[in-house]
Amino acid sequence: MLVAVYVALRTAAAPDPLIQAWIVVAVVSALISPLAGLTVLAAIGPFTEALTDAGRITAAPLLLAGTTAGVAMRVTIARSIPRFTWPIVLAVALLLGTGLGVVHSWLSFSPPEGRSAAELWLVGIGAALAILLAAAWLAWRGEARPFFVAVSSSVVAGLVSSIDFVGRGALYGGPLGWLLRSDDYARLSGIIPAPNASAAIFVLAFAVCLAVAVLETRTQLRLLALASGAIAAVALVLTYSRSGLLAAALAVVVIVWQRWRVRGLAVAIVVLTAASLAAVVAGLVREVPMVADQDRVTAWAAAVRMWQAEPLIGAGFRSFEWLHAGFGSPVLDAPHNEWLRLFAEEGSVVGLAGVAFALLTPLTLLRSRSVVAAAGVVTAAAGTAAAAVFLMAFFNNPFTYLQVNVPVFIVIGTGLGLAIGLRDPLRASTDRRG
């Protein structure tokens, strides 16, 4: 109901007081029912700016605050905490470590830079990890609804972005224009004015739909997943994102390996070769100059030098943006590698925690597939999506976008919660209806 009202208000270009009233109601609902809050956030997250839209504070960060506060209250009052697994422990460590990085920046730089660091953390990696923990707690208690809503909204994001791209503004200037953020039609951006960030959302949807299409046994669900995955794949191709194509190829390899094992090796060779050729073709179509790739490598080297200068605690959260030129990256003010960023800005301990999180999270999710059949499809889908998006994070900065963090970390967190609780979300929903 809340989602339908929000869509109606935005489509009708309702005045600010009505939007603000909706936000108040939604946040209160999230405090009362974190499940409702996270579900609404999953629905609108890919389409909502991080902090402000035309000078107004948007719904997404406030909904996230209400949801996490609601979860925290229930955990404190009921002391209902699941057993810890390494991905959850590492997520908490990263949340605390990057949060301390914000404090470091606040103390080391000017107040405006300290505030900008805090703002980015609140909608970036801080929000991502808070979403993961909230989704994991809810899934541990048997609630996987945000997972399905997040994937559905990601597919819708691919659909509206593709329609607008092919139609050269068919939606952007109309009543549904609020769903989109870009009117640049050289490459599909659509929901985010950055093609690689949009590609991360489409990769997530593609990976999950592919997993359901291959691993699910029910024909209707498989057909729905195939159709949805095709929509996401088309949107991904139109972004001309080379890292996105490689991530999609990795998703194919992981799922085929889950389903067929030995034959997966042959498929892996074919898919990776095809993806590599497609990435080269995408670069040629976009006429990507070699200097652009060299700038990315230069930024990586600068991040390494920044880490070497302060190996223990790093230079502070968001500091690469302010110090990049001095460390040898005159063009790019972001490292274009989320894992190297942790080393450069938070130091060795947080950096190693990030690498361990990136490796152990997909492995934990994929390994749990054999435990419970239907829940195993969800955890395998979440593990595949995690592996694909984490690969993209090696070449880009997806975790600085709340629009990416909402669906990605809801999916991953739900998978982890199901793996901990060994819940079957499909059977649980059937039992509730009965």
Calpha distance 337→122 (Å, rounded): 19
Contacts of 34 (CB under 8 A, 6+ apart): 67, 68, 70, 71, 74, 134, 138
For each successive 10 residues of the chain (434 residues), what is the average pLDDT? Answer: 93 89 94 96 88 62 93 85 85 97 96 93 95 95 94 98 95 92 88 95 97 90 96 95 91 85 68 67 55 84 97 96 96 95 98 98 82 70 96 95 96 93 49 42
The two three-digit tokens of residue 164, written as one number: 């607008």
| DSSP H stretches of helix in 12-110 | 16-32, 34-44, 59-78, 86-108
CA distances from 323 to 174, 250, 261, 302, 345 (A): 42, 34, 47, 9, 11
Are the CB atoms for 147 and 177 separated by under 8 Å? no
Query: CA dist 202 to 128, 179, 220, 246, 304, Å?
Result: 17, 15, 22, 13, 30
* pTM score: 0.92
Distance CA 124, CA 335 (A): 15
Q: Which pLDDT value is given to residue 424?
A: 45
